[in-house]
Amino acid sequence: MFTRHAELLFKSVWRISVTSVSESHTTTHKFHHNFSKRSCIKCTSARSVAFCIFPNFVRRQYCSLPIGRPRRFPMSAEVNEVTEGLAKVVLPKSVFYNPVQEYNRDLTIAVISEYAKLHFANAHKSENGKRSNKKSENSETKVEKSDSGLDPHVFDNDILEPGKYYENGIKIFEGLAASGLRSVRFGLEIPGVKEVIANDFDKTAVEFIERNISQNDLGHIMKSRHGDAAMGMYERKSVEERFDVIDLDPYGSPHLFLDAAVQAVKDGGLLCITCTDAAVLCGNAPEKCSANYGALSLRSKFCHEMGVRIILQCLDSHANRYSRYIVPLISLSIDFYFRVFVRVYTGQKQVKHSATKKAMVYECVGCGSHALQPLAEAVPTKGEGNFKFMPGTGPVVGPVCSHCGHHHRVGGPIWSAPIHDKDFVKQVIQQVQTNPKPLGTKDRICGMLSLVLEELPDIPLYYVLDAVCSVLHCTLPKMTILRSAFLNAGYRVSLSHAAKNSYKTDAPAQFVWDVMREWVKENPVTQKRMEDGSVTKSILEKAQVSQVSFEEHPEANPQSREIGLLRWQTNPEPNWGPKARAKRTCDDDASSAKQKKSKSANVEVAQSTAQ
């Protein structure tokens, strides 16, 4: 006991930095503290939090703020340390953290890193352009460095380094940062960064963001912001101040932040958006989906891709109001949430095409056949690149389903244009595979993105084999046999990353059912399933129009399957999934109590309860 006292006294007198370890509190402190005064010697705040080093023995006070900024940590906070990627952060229970979202964070780091390369390549190109103009104006002028200080060789040599400040680097805003883990990782792992701002409207979260900035030595590129995410973006919507990248990872739906996001991102900038309100987007609450996203979701077999496409049409509609439009880079349905990466551009001419990239969806309530009703079409007129825009013609389906006689439900509008940029996806895969410091979820990123590369880019939505077979009450053909039938008939077919056993095809629904009629000839349905008026009977009694061959086609096995990539998630940990909204455990002062009140009003409208 005496030795312990002596050790502590020694440390406090000599102001040695301390790494504290206890059962529930583990944290590293960068600053030195005055033990006897029980206040932080750096900021002399008597209100700094006390974390016990040794339970029931002694309490010490720490603070990681720069001198002169008094601050307080909650007295009752239990602090945990989390290590992910290159980051080590501390956070109390009252600040949100979901370990399963590591995949989301890893993927985002890979995407933004690739985006940063494009950013530097563009800057380099425009600098070269300027340089050659200057040269042609005055051949004696030598331009060694750009006016803006960009080293022209930085991109050529691919020597951008993470953790370093780049004057011409990318500016990133994380609107809903919680502990700042994601932003800290951005700062440490993404090469070519100028600024990372981690924002949260929770006071405790921001205190921990600051602590984590200091603990990870990121003061030169990262800072915190305390306030509403939308306001943080509106403040930076002027052209000079816009962000290159905005990351939004809210509880539930991001809809409250989208108007600000599409304005605060620079021309060609990147939005990274998570939606964890999967139930709403997948048709459990179409009215809520309509209110939040301006589109009706359908509870269909293809709901996971439909959810992605609803988010994209919503983003594009928001952008259109400001003469801007989106270009999706990667749009994914993952586990229990959606994550989309889109670039936002300005251009009135392109905005006119936006309505042609959206469609309503008809889905038969009996057999699940679906058809897309485009909202508008572009008709070429005189002069290159000129179009006249017309409302879509329809309906594309009859009063009842031509396959089973049931009625249709109408959903949408959805984004009906491509949802991924395959060249970009290839670059991300290559970068993830060759990264000397591999991401924790590297295998899954490569597996899922390889599936994305295989997806038919021009075919929205898909069929699910189990569902099609359950309509007919028949046995399931092997996926390779089914795919062969489409390929042998000259149609294209692919999986979708959004669902196992899915198939996308450019074949008409008539052929989809012809394949099943042929299959049922060899694998008959029991007679009791052929009741009068049943969907099974209606479909199987219809004459088969096309010839179908199940002979194995050489491309029947998708490459991602052949080489055994990790394509769909296996359970990463027990009870994984959305995490409940973080609960506040600390005492709040009067102002944060007020804030809490208005927050709950916002939250009421804004978000569902889980992430």
What residue ranges bind Zn ion (CB under 5 A)?
364, 366-367, 369, 401, 403-404, 406
Among 84, 106, 228, 363, binds ligand SAM (CB under 6 A): 228
Among 186, 208, 251, 337, binds ligand SAM (CB under 6 A): 251
Q: In what order do the strands lie in the sheet with 463-464?
A: 463-464, 499-505, 493-496
Shortest distance, position 535 Cβ to Zn ion, whole Å: 7
Measured from the Cβ of residue 153, the count of other Cβ atoms closer than 10 Å reads 10
Q: Would you say 268 and 343 are in contact if contact means Cβ atoms under 8 Å apart?
A: yes
For residue 275, state whether it binds ligand SAM (rule: CB under 6 A): no
For residue 224, state whether it binds ligand SAM (rule: CB under 6 A): no
Residues 41-80 that bind ligand SAM (CB under 6 A): none
Among 29, 33, 124, 182, binds ligand SAM (CB under 6 A): 182
For residue 177, state whether it binds ligand SAM (rule: CB under 6 A): yes
Among 73, 166, 186, 201, binds ligand SAM (CB under 6 A): 201
Q: Would you say 61 and 50 are in contact if contact means Cβ atoms under 8 Å apart?
A: yes
Residue with Cβ nearer ligand SAM (45 or 199): 199
Shortest distance, position 302 Cβ to Zn ion, whole Å: 14
Shortest distance, position 524 Cβ to Zn ion, whole Å: 21
Question: Which tokens hold the place of 287?
Answer: 């009215």
For residue 249, state whether it binds ligand SAM (rule: CB under 6 A): yes
Which of these, 436, 328, 337, 418, lies nearest to 111 by C-alpha position?
Answer: 328
How many whole angstroms separate alpha carbon 519 and alpha carbon 434?
44
Residue with Cβ nearer ligand SAM (200 or 514): 200
For residue 96, state whether it binds ligand SAM (rule: CB under 6 A): yes
**CB burial of residue 585 (10 Å; 0-12, 13-18, 19+):** middle
Among 105, 358, 420, 504, binds ligand SAM (CB under 6 A): 105
Binding-site residue total for ligand SAM (CB under 6 A)?
21
510 membership: H or E segment, kind and range: helix 509-522
Residue with Cβ nearer ligand SAM (204 or 560): 204
For residue 335, state whether it binds ligand SAM (rule: CB under 6 A): no
Residue with Cβ nearer Zn ion (67 or 410): 410
Length of the chain: 611
Shortest distance, position 366 Cβ to Zn ion, whole Å: 4
Cis link prior to 578 (omega < 30° from 0)? no
For residue 445, state whether it binds ligand SAM (rule: CB under 6 A): no
How many whole angstroms separate alpha carbon 291 and alpha carbon 186?
33
Q: Would you say 294 and 315 are in contact if contact means Cβ atoms under 8 Å apart?
A: no
For residue 97, state whether it binds ligand SAM (rule: CB under 6 A): yes
Q: Would you say 463 and 470 are in contact if contact means Cβ atoms under 8 Å apart?
A: no
Among 176, 342, 419, 509, binds ligand SAM (CB under 6 A): 176
Q: Please enumerate in sequence order all residues whose Cβ is within 8 A of that of 449, keeping only pairs 6 or more positions apart, or say none.
A: 330, 425, 428, 429, 432
Residue with Cβ nearer ligand SAM (275 or 417): 275
Residue facing ligand SAM at closest CB distance: 176
182 binds, among Zn ion, ligand SAM, none (CB under 5 to 8 A by kind): ligand SAM
Q: Please enumerate in sequence order all residues whose Cβ is within 8 A of that of 161, keeping only pairs 6 or more positions apart, or say none.
A: 191
Shortest distance, position 201 Cβ to ligand SAM, whole Å: 4
* Residue-wise burial string across 449-485, b where 16 or more C-beta atoms lie within 10 A, e elsewhere: bbbbbbbbeebbbbbbbebbbebbbbeebebbbbbbb
For residue 178, state whether it binds ligand SAM (rule: CB under 6 A): yes
97 binds, among ligand SAM, Zn ion, none (CB under 5 to 8 A by kind): ligand SAM
Shortest distance, position 564 Cβ to ligand SAM, whole Å: 30
Q: Please enumerate in sequence order all residues whose Cβ is within 8 A of that of 567, keeping only pairs 6 or more positions apart, or say none.
A: 447, 448, 450, 451, 497, 560, 561
Residue with Cβ nearer ligand SAM (183 or 373): 183
Rg (CA), the chain: 28
For residue 200, state whether it binds ligand SAM (rule: CB under 6 A): yes
How many whole angstroms separate alpha carbon 54 and alpha carbon 148?
52
Stretch that binds ligand SAM, among 93-101, 405-413, 430-438, 585-593 (CB under 6 A): 93-101
Query: Residue numbers of the site for ligand SAM (CB under 6 A)?
Result: 96-97, 101, 105, 175-178, 181-182, 199-202, 205, 228-229, 249-251, 611
